[in-house]
Structures are given as C-alpha cells and as structure tokens.
Amino acid sequence: MENLSVERLSSVLSKFQGRRILVIGDLIVSRFVEVSARKLAREAPVPAGDYVGETLLPGGAANLARELTSLGASVSVLGAVGDDAQGSWLREDLIRSGVNAAGIAVDKNRPTSLRTWIMVNRLHYLRIDQETRRDIPVVTAKAFVESAEAEIPQVDAVVLSDYDRGVIGPALIDGIVTAAQKNNTVVVAQPKMRHYLDFTGVTYVKSNLEEATHATGMSMVNETSLRNMGVNLMQRLDCKGILITRGEQGMTVFEKELITNFPPIYGRRNFFSKVGVRDTMTGVFALAVASGATMAEAACLCNIAGPARSDKARNVTLTVGDLQNAFVNLGDFLQKISQAPVRR
C-alpha cells in the first residue's frame, strides 16, 4: 500500500476525461412525487397532503451512464425501454446529457421500468414499481451482444449494470465476456441477486454484502467468514477481483493474493435513503480501472465517491472536481487502510 497516495489518486483522476465506456443493463425511470402533508387521513392512519410537484430522473444503468458522462467519460449505452412516454423521455434525457443512446431498443411487449418515489415532507414514504421483470427474449439479447461486439474494440471498459429487470442474463453475459476477452477489454460487473453467479469471467465485480451473502449462502459473522465469502466468489466467478461494499463498515477488496479493507472514509454514515450513490461508486471504480488504476486505487476513489455523491441533491451528478475537493485530509484515511494475504 506504500504506493497509494494523494498524488497517485490525482494522477488517475486526470485520465478520466475522454475515456470510452460501454454501459449495458437495465434502464429505469425514477419519478419523484413531492407531497406536503397537512394532517392524518380520517380513513386510515396515513398522511393526507397536497401535491407539490414531481420530477423524472434516469435510474439503473441510465443513471450510471449519466454519472459517467458527468465524470468526463464518453459513454454509449445498450438497454431496452418500452414503447411509451417514459421510454421516449429517458432516451431524450440521456441524449441531452451527452450519452450515445443509439443502442437503446424499443420493446413493444414490455413497459419502461418506472419507479415512483412518494416523498412526504421531503422524506421517502413509499416506492411503487411498474415494470416487467422477466428476462428479455434471447433474440434481443443476441442483438445486444452483436452491437457490443462492434463497440468493444473501441472502448476502454464495459460495465454490466444489473438491476434484476431482465436485460442482463446468462446469454448476454457470456457473449460480452467472450468479446471483451478477445480484445483484452476490462469488464466491470454490478450484479444483483438473480444472476450473480452467472457473471463468470468478468474482470471485476462490485456488489454489496447482502448480494454476496445471497450468492454464496454464507453469513458474515466475523472477518474470517467474510474472507471465506470473498474467496468462494473469486473461485466461482474466476475474476481478477471483487469489491464488496459493507455500508457503515466501509468496503473490502478481494484479489488473488490480497484482501484490502477500507474503513468508511468519513466515519459511519447512512446511505440508505440516497438514490444514485451505488451507480456513482460503480462509475468511478470503472473509470479508474479503465484509466490504469490498480484495484486498490480504484476502490479508494470509489470509497471517496460514496459520501461525496451522498452530500448532493438527487438530481446533481458528481464531477472530477468534487472528487478532487474530497482529497482534503485524505492522508489520514490512507493510513487506516489495511491489507492481509488471502492465505495465512
């Protein structure tokens, strides 16, 4: 860890601009409905209030693409939307953000995934999902793979953004991994529950502790069980490294020979209600490895990005300048990072 320094991290950030990233995954529209509560309703113990307004934001892989663009990357996206108003809005919004949306397919047999967040007095009260979660048809998955095969030779990294909404499945993963390996292209996977163990052969995996626990059937009771979980996943996925975020406990990186533990950078903070933090962290990690960073360096920047994005309003994306500003007093944090061999 002696090479991990503020100067080295700044050097990695300087290479973000213009990196070419292909994002493949579930495209979601996030709708936020604001309500001002006045009283309790007579018919049930729930708030009754006045409608204030609503906003639409890209979600899932669409949000990841937007965050990557804000960080200076040149981004193309592959995914599916429905033949509806939400799908049209999402495609147009990505184009306005500078994302190449030519790879977005319109599927007339399924709606655009829509998540409606009910915010009462600015607090998250309820979320309603309107979507189809079944896997996309094999013919659509093959079409995405063919499109990706044409793009992969020109990109610095591919990010598979899985939200269990049906775009990411075994056939698509296998096709992308095969094409990427032929071109020595980095593949970063952000899996959810259903297809976690199908991401065999990707370069890096970034997930949270809950997802890793579900995939392995192991519970974390101490650091030994966490190590066993990480080693199990490394062997089953045959990847170069796995980053597991642990909420207020920080994050842990597993590589072939080393385990690196990163404490929470600003102490214990709750990201539970922060929409978009996961995508930002994945985007920063992917851009870092695409810029030549080691996994430890990429994880460190990812760790910095979490609270930096959490401090922003949900409609504001992170920038390289924000990350640079977060380097203040970073030296003390770097001294707290610890490493241990996988085999003791």
Q: Take residue 169 and report the two structure tokens written for it.
A: 């499945």
The answer to whether position 45 is within a domain reads no
Distances (CA, A) of 185 to 2, 20, 144, 152, 181: 28, 11, 17, 7, 6
Write down the pLDDT at residue 269. 52
The residue length of the chain stands at 344
The answer to whether 30 and 56 are in contact (CB under 8 A) is: yes
Residues 276, 296: Cα–Cα separation, whole Å: 23
The answer to whether position 119 is within a domain reads no
Three-state secondary structure call for residue 69: helix
DSSP string, 273-334: T-TTHHHHHHHHHHHHHHTT--HHHHHHHHHHHHHHHHTS-TT----HHHHHHTTTTHHHHH
The answer to whether position 47 is within a domain reads no
Beta strands in the chain (DSSP E): 20-25, 27-40, 47-60, 74-82, 100-107, 113-120, 123-130, 157-161, 186-190, 204-208, 241-245, 251-255, 258-262, 338-341
Beta-sheet pairing, 74-82 with 100-107: parallel
Write down the pLDDT at residue 343. 75
Task: Mention every residue, 6+ apart, whose C-beta is less than 8 A from residue 123.
Answer: none
- C-alpha of 34 from chain center: 26
Domain range spanning residue 277? 6-26+61-105+134-341
0.85 exceeded by pTM: yes
User: What are the percentages of helix, strand and coil residues in the chain, rounded to 5?
Assistant: 40, 30, 30
Nearest-10 Cα torsion for 64, 67, 73, 75? 40
The answer to whether position 80 is within a domain reads yes
Of the candidates 171, 164, 169, 160, the one whose C-alpha atom is nearest the C-alpha of residue 202 is: 160
The answer to whether position 319 is within a domain reads yes
Residues 168, 69: Cα–Cα separation, whole Å: 22
Write down the pLDDT at residue 296. 93
In order along its 344 residues, the chain shows pLDDT tens digits of: 557 888 999 999 999 999 999 999 999 999 999 999 999 999 999 999 999 999 999 999 999 999 999 999 999 999 999 999 999 999 999 999 999 999 999 999 999 999 999 999 999 999 999 999 999 999 999 999 999 999 999 999 999 999 999 999 999 999 999 999 999 999 999 999 999 999 999 999 999 999 999 999 988 768 888 889 999 999 999 999 999 998 888 899 999 989 999 988 765 555 444 678 999 999 999 999 999 999 999 999 999 999 899 888 888 999 999 999 988 878 778 888 998 888 75
Write down the pLDDT at residue 267. 56
CATH number, position 294: 3.40.1190.20
For the chain, the C-alpha Rg in angstroms (whole number) is 20
The answer to whether position 164 is within a domain reads yes
- C-alpha of 45 from chain center: 37
The answer to whether position 38 is within a domain reads no
Write down the pLDDT at residue 271. 45
Residues 252, 296: Cα–Cα separation, whole Å: 10
Distances (CA, A) of 85 to 134, 204, 205: 21, 35, 34
Write down the pLDDT at residue 221. 66
The answer to whether position 334 is within a domain reads yes
The total number of structural domains that make up the chain: 1
